[in-house]
Chains A and B, each alone.
Chain A
Amino acid sequence: MELQQQKQWLKNYSERLIEEAPMLNALDTPIGDGDHGSNMAKGAKAILEVLDTEIADQATLYKQVAIALISKVGGSAGPLYGSAFLAMAGPEHMLDKFSKGLEAIESRGKAVPGEKTMVDMWDAFLNEQTMAHLDKAIEAITAMKATKGRASYVGERSIGHMDPGAMSSYLMFETYLEVFS
């Protein structure tokens, strides 16, 4: 896949994260510490700085993006997304990259599908790469009960609440489809 397209996607994703930071913070407030949006926006700004530099190949691109997220995000999303992008630095095509990324998130977060986390959104995207499917997935995740991470402490109260991590991943796949479809 063209390096230029991948950079465009990451640029769009970063800009969307900065734009949607208040929404992600609001989603994180009842079930987390209310900073998922601000944290991701910090990471996004660091990604935009990476995109402004000369990048020779896609391996460098993904590694630099991973480092930006690992050093700047500040919450669990940093190591989770950072591990995913590190795993995506290989020579694979996009879907295989996402599949490697999901494995890395599962291993870093000791998470599996069905626990109402970003893992469910990645899993859904790997099953079908359409906006309609992403929309269905975010609804299905919202209806789940959280059994992993801080949201699991509020138990039943997490049902009907949209998961902020799943939502930030939704934005990632949404911007991906905008660029690659």
Chain B
Amino acid sequence: MIHLVLVSHSQTLASGALDLIEGMVPDTTNVTISLASGTDEGTLGTSPTRVMAALQSLEASHTYVFYDIGSARMSSEMALDLMDHPHNMTLCDVAFIEGAFTTAVMANAQMSHDQIMEELKQLKKP
């Protein structure tokens, strides 16, 4: 199982991204998507502890983390630091929606980690 974690300031944006990917990739037998969005109070923001909870929610062969803006990156990096950077977790410094969508498509088609990372290179954030 491949695990995608979407880290967003907004619960609406994260669940919208999930809708979009599930709609465009109807067969997701190989892919599970978790959300780490908003704060504990439900306000806009990100939290390393919520990212950690999402990362730990599934035993996956590989976990790919996508993040939106600002503190989403720092919160994701901190979560991975606190977990001592498991070798099978990758923080993807790529466009949020396109990156998650591309990875869902490729993972579902059983493409390898290297193939996915190669494709994601083209979606790198500026």
Contact = CB atoms under 8 A, between A and B. Distances in A.
Given A74-B39, A74-B43, A79 B49 contact: no
A42 B77 CA distance: 22
Interface in A65-87: 70-76, 78-80, 82-83
Given A78-B71, A79-B74, A82-B48, 4 more contacts: A70-B47, A72-B40, A74-B44, A78-B48
B62 to A, nearest CB: 24
A157 to B, nearest CB: 18
Interface string B47-80: 1110000000000000000000011001101100
A76 B70 contact: yes
Interface residues of B, number: 16
A109 B74 contact: yes
Nearest to A32: B70
A70 B48 contact: yes
Nearest to B76: A79
Nearest to A80: B74
B99 interface: no
B47 A78 contact: yes
Interface of A: 33, 35, 39, 42, 70-76, 78-80, 82-83, 108-109, 149-150
Interface in B25-47: 39-41, 43-47
30 contacts: A35-B44, A35-B45, A39-B45, A42-B41, A70-B48, A70-B49, A70-B78, A71-B47, A71-B48, A72-B47, A73-B45, A74-B39, A74-B44, A74-B45, A75-B46, A75-B71, A76-B70, A76-B71, A76-B74, A78-B47, A78-B48, A78-B71, A79-B48, A79-B71, A82-B78, A83-B78, A108-B77, A108-B78, A109-B74, A149-B70
A150 B40 CA distance: 23
Interface in B70-121: 70-71, 74-75, 77-78
B106 to A, nearest CB: 29
Q: Which of B40, B49, B71 has the most CB of A within 10 A?
A: B71
Contacts of A39: 45
Contacts of B46: 74-75
B78 A75 contact: no
Q: Which of A73, A78, A83 has the most CB of B within 10 A?
A: A78
A82 B46 CA distance: 14
A83 B82 CA distance: 10
> What 3 A-B pairs have minimum CB-CB distances, sorted nearest first?
A74-B45, A76-B71, A71-B49
B70 A75 contact: yes
A33 B10 CA distance: 14
Contacts of B43: 74
A78 B75 contact: yes
Contacts of A83: 78
